[in-house]
Chains A and B, each alone.
Chain A
Amino acid sequence: MENLGALALLLAFCFAIYAVLGSLVGRWKKKPFLTVSAERAVFVVWGLVAIASSILVYALMAGDFRLAYVAAHSNKSMPFYYKFASWWGGQEGSLLFWTFLLSTYSVIVVWSSRKTFRDMMPWIIAVLMTTAAFFLLLITVPMSPFNVLTLNKGIQDMGDGQGLNPLLQYWTMVIHPPMLYLGYVGFTVPFAFAIASLITKQPGDKWIMQTRRWTLVTWLFQSTGVLLGAGWAYAVLGWGGYWGWDPVENASLLPWITATAFLHSVMMQEKKGMMKVWNMVLISATFFLCIFGTTLTRTGIVSSVHAFAQSNIGKYLVTFLAIGIAGVVYLILDRLEYLKSETHLESVVSRESSFLFNNLILLASCFAILWGTLFPVISEAVTGDKISVDRPFFERVNIPIGLFLLFLTGVGPLVAWRRSSLDSLRRAFLWPTVSGLAVIGILMGFGVRHFYALVSFGLCMFVTWTVISEFYKGSRSISQRMNKNLAAAAFELTWRNTRRYGGYIVHMGIVLMFIGFTGSAFNQDATLEVDTGTVSHIGHYELRIADLQQGENDNYAWHKAVIQVSKDGSPIGTLEPERRLYKASKQPTSEVSIRRRINEDLYLNFAGMSNDNSKAVIQAFVFPLVSCIWMGYWVLFFGTLVCMVPPKVKLAYARTEVVGVARKNVPVEN
């Protein structure tokens, strides 16, 4: 079976190369049969990668411990869903999973767009299949998942495996990597469209709309992946945090930030025909940051708890990055004329300018994170000294940047396209500003003195006011004209311009997340050494240890504390934090117990037993407002879905600035 799997990957690599050459030669020599044949090769690549993936999954499920990958990442006692998750639990399998997703995306693109984007399709295929061929090369030569264990030239069956890392044996870990990979890999598609449009000098904005839709979908996957990772860290690692500024976490955030910037600035291209070069740079940067993230995760350039084992694929990834970036830079420089703006910015005080500032701040945040992540490596190379760049740096830089971004989130809707007068600005900003200042005043009245927390809550109110007033003004107008109630009018309003109002809903999700992040300024924690019957306190909670239990099953042994919780004297329930020791890996993990509420979480971690093994050590945390982060995600999810719904009214964006200029390349949209 392993030979069949390896052969399938080798053949897939050959077909991917054929697809690249076939599409390019077909286009160059004007031989349609070659182009069509290249399209079919994409389907063959998918089929072969699917066969290889099925063989690996079967080996994981059946426990074929002759395979090095299966022996290292699976064992007999694991439930079937974790065996399945082992597919992406290790280096080789995750690269195969990546390739499988990329080939699946490629099939969808070819199937859905081959008629609409006839001219661009050979180039789209060339970009997609070059990337696929590169990953197939990795899993065919240096990182094959089908290597067998050998001893004295004979194949060795280990009998059982080491199992999946216990920290990864958690339900969100079954879906977190696929979501993140769907995001990472998905950004290849808009990048392929962008490059194809650049090469073929596509007129019009059709491809931009297609690219935006793909970016939105993959952005949602990436957001989901990042948030699931944060949720996993919060609920599994036992330290109560959801973000550790680990290089691998940062790597997942970087393409998300550039994609967010792209989703904003692409509106300028659609509506005003501006920022074409910038959009090309953003979508390319997003793709290359995905590859860079992969390089960071898999080569050990920087130390990270999340990273896969160090390997020798770094040189392959760096070469791919270098060639890719050089190629894109050349293409952009070569086609600057094609990327020229069709209209001009009229005023600094305009919606267009707010997008420029939004992009600047997003990119500054991206740069700060990238800089902080790589600086230890750069500094060591320059000075020879090892240094640490930890949480204080990231927070010192990113908190003010994040707050400014939050401010711009509120400013955007208040400023008109083209230009805003001072009077209209005064009217637009008055109530949002008053409401934000009122929140700050009230919080100060309650004794809050944390500067950033006050600013953050004030800005959250500012943005909330602008978003709600946007909905209210539009809904009231529809309600009056169509004689509908306000809720129905709000629904009608959103449906008419799903993109705009879906975007506002996404902004509300971001506001909720900021409320959650700000809550961390008021965290409380205590470490308690307790025995049965002990009563301890944290915040307004009383914790009574009702029982300490222990036991085992096939996979792990466990200690558990049964803790009765009271709040202000009234019993509110029982929490049961647990500590496990996985038998195969001899690795301990925490199963924290959390009482989740909107205002705060009570979070208990069974950290271990005391030195003399007589008492349990419990870490207790109170995390105010942390639930807002997860609620914010659901609002963001819903808002993104709304953005994807086709609007009831097809909007036309007349580029009024060009009236009278009558340039050839400026079509009037209908």
Chain B
Amino acid sequence: MSPAKWDVVVIGAGPGGLAASIAADKAGASVCLVEREARPGGILKQCIHDGFGLVRFGRKLTGPEYAFLDIEEVKGRGIKLFTETFLLDLDRSEEGFVLTLQNSEEAVFRLEAKALVAATGCRERTARQVFIHGQRPAGVYTAGTVQRLINISGYLPGKNCVILGSGDIGLIMARRLTLEGAKVLGVYEIKPEPSGLTRNIVQCLEDYNIPLHLSTTVTEVHGTERLEGVTVCRVDENMRPLPGSEEYVPCDTLVLSVGLIPENDILHPLGVEIDPRTGGPVVDQLLATSEAGLFSCGNALHVNDLVDYVSESGEIAGASAARHALGDYRPPRHVPILAKGEILYAVPQRLDVSLGGQGILYFRAARTLTDAALVISAGGRVLGEKKYKSLRPPEMERIVLDLSLVPAGEENIVLELRG
């Protein structure tokens, strides 16, 4: 098991990892991409609907088409790709990192990397994680599982479906289930407004006369063997169930689209600093984590609403990892970004002010706002300002900051959103 040595190893060949490996290769680093599934592309493989790529490619692509463009480039560049390969252990070494992996062909083997990009994506929140009660019948699935069953395996999980959560995946699955012959009885959303894009409300629900119930949630599942029905219940302004408003809806399938959680389990042993608000690592504008040489991108960094931004962060992380591996490393001078006002979270969480150039900042509003203003300042001096006609928490905002404007010696940079 003598380890093969690479400048950069990218973990995960979804859109973030594909973009990272391409960027690292472009920057002149030797790159290797590790994927646990049989094919690259990540979750895009099962996102057969369109709407991807408007920002990055200027046209509307389906998920597989979007992935295809990057996969072709990875292949064209001769980037080494391990598929059906599972990371067993990640450790520090003198020169960087050592990865222990397994697959069917090579059994157990090691890779050494000077720099690492963790592009491990996210997982779905489950029924129990949103505290739905009852027994545990068959027929309760997360939206991603339903998507995989229908689009990859070719099975309809049920015929009469209730969907909890109006996020885009939930809406897309409402249409998909309907087109494949299932009846979608309704989409229930605990919040007073839908979480998904208006476009999806129109084209996935209204086109098919699927009702959307706001301020309503599922509190209980019924049935022991197969799901027989769910209890739906209206909620108050604090999203607590209103007693007496319970209603029984007979159905054989409950589809949950109740949130995504960045997956960073492989980083735990290294003690990487995690931001509790995003669930991903704390990073600077290079997407460098608290662990030197380790970079994060995509939905593992924070849950994105557009794959185009996942790719963009992959490109940044890949290029940064290559620079680090090729020896262009100076100790950073980090200044924290303080998110104030109506900001849910902002990424990156700090800036390396020893670098010039531009920094891309992403943020989400904590609630729906109209005529909002974002002000970036340091030491009382305004560095940038942007006005928004409307802001919604599901939609991520992106701004570019000219780092040369940051005055030397500032303790922090303030990002403030006023409603």
- A complexed with B: no
